[in-house]
Amino acid sequence: MGKNVMKFQNVWFRYGEDLPWVLQDVSFEISASEWVAVIGHNGSGKSTIAKLMNGLLFPQKGNILINGLEVNEETIWDVRKQVGMVFQNPDNQFVGTTVRDDVAFGLENRGIPREEMIRRLKSSLAAVRMEDYELQEPHRLSGGQKQRVAIAGVLAVSPQIIILDEATAMLDPNGRKEIMQTVKTVKERDDVSLVTITHDLNEVTLADRVLVMNEGKVWMEAPPKNVFAKRDELKEIGLDIPFVTKLAAELTDRNIFLKTEPLNHDELLEELWRFHLNR
């Protein structure tokens, strides 16, 4: 992992002076080209973190640095060039009257030359499989299609950090998988850092590192395998573990000892096969 591109230093946040703290002394770093998943029950502070990351909110105490630049009212425009954000509900982020205009909006704002703009427009729409809808009006699209266009809009601007705030929550499973695949491809191609805020456990397994939030505090920070190994503790704070992890734990209880903590079907099958051969 390279240098940090984002740093939260002892961040405190609340939505009003007489309201409870939503975030309490939150500190973490995200490295260049790292994929970090943020999980936590509803109300644990996940989405507040996302909004702080690109200056939609500012902390009352502590600092947030993006590539060493402190996020504040003077720097938000520079920050937002580097931090692209996709929200849960795409209806709240449409500006264009056609799919093409909407994806082009961010590019126009940044003064990208026309030829380059057309190239990026095509490639980002193709990446989310919406190339046939260029001239459609956004409000005629289904929820999943809208979200894919919103993701294309962010991809087109190719920021250094992309935040997905439950961006796949409204998609069907197939759509989810495709978006995750798309994001993965883009991450590798453009070497971006990814922050995915999600309830989808299988999405979490794709990340390099997981930030578990509980009641406004960082509860744990570790690779997915280590996080899911804490299945009882996770349950206590309202979280679940993936099917494979559950099954692996049940197998361990039955004296099937696995060498590594499997995260997907292949890894678990491999472990079972190895056990079978060595029995």
Partner 1 sequence: MEISFKQVSYTYQPNTPFEHRAINDLSMDISSGSFTAIIGHTGSGKSTLIQHLNGLLRPSSGKVNIGSYQLHAEAKLKGIKELRSKVGIVFQYPEHQLFEETVFKDIAFGPSNFGVDREEVGGRVDQALQAVQLPEELLDRSPFELSGGQMRRVAIAGVLAVQPELLVLDEPTAGLDPKGQKEMMNMFHQLHKQKGLTTILVTHSMEDALAYADHVIILNKGEKYLEGKPEDVFTRQQDLQKVQLDVPEVIQFITNVKDRFQVDLSYHGQTIKELAEELAAIVKGENRYE
| Interacting residues with partner 1 (CB under 8 A) | 40-43, 88, 140, 142-145, 166, 169-175, 199, 201, 238-240, 243-244, 246-247, 250-251, 253-256, 265, 268-269, 272-273, 275-276, 279
Min dist. Cβ of residue 279 to partner 1 (A)? 6
Shortest approach of partner 1 to residue 251 CB, angstroms? Answer: 5
- Nearest-approach distance from CB 237 to partner 1, in angstroms: 9
**Which lies closer to partner 1 via its Cβ, residue 163 or residue 248?**
248
In angstroms, the CA 166 to CA 151 distance is: 12
What's the min distance (Å) between Cβ of 175 and partner 1?
Answer: 6
Closer to partner 1 by Cβ: residue 32 or 272:
272
Nearer to partner 1, 63 or 264 (CB): 264
Q: Which of these, 226, 180, 230, 217, lies nearest to 200 by C-alpha position?
A: 180
φ and ψ of 176, to 5 deg: -60, -50
Q: Which is nearer to partner 1, 142 or 185 (CB)?
A: 142
Q: How far is the CB of 38 from partner 1 (least distance, A)?
A: 12
Which structure tokens are listed for 221? Answer: 């920070």
Q: Of 56 and 269, which CB lies nearer to partner 1 in the complex structure? A: 269
Q: How many CA atoms lie within 13 A of 49 on its CB side?
A: 39
**In sequence order, what are the residues at sequence separation of 6 or more whose Cβ sits closer than 8 angstroms to the Cβ of residue 162?**
83, 84, 85, 86, 154, 155, 183, 186, 187, 192, 193, 194, 195
Q: How far is the CB of 268 from partner 1 (least distance, A)?
A: 8
By C-alpha distance, which of 7, 108, 105 is closest to 52?
A: 7
Question: Which residues fall within 8 angstroms of residue 247, CB to CB, at 6 or more apart?
Answer: 268
Residue 58 exposure: Cα atoms within 13 Å on the Cβ side: 9
Q: In the complex, what is the shortest distance from the CB of residue 99 to partner 1, in angstroms, rounded to a whole number?
A: 15
Q: Please check whether residue 138 is in contact with residue 98, taking contact to mean a CB–CB distance below 8 angstroms.
A: yes
State how far the Cα of 75 lies from the Cα of 37, in Å rounded to an integer: 25
Query: Toward partner 1, which CB reaches closer, 57 or 201?
Result: 201
Q: Treating both helix axes as pointing N-terminal to C-terminal, what angle do 173-190 and 114-127 enclose, rounded to 10 degrees? A: 140
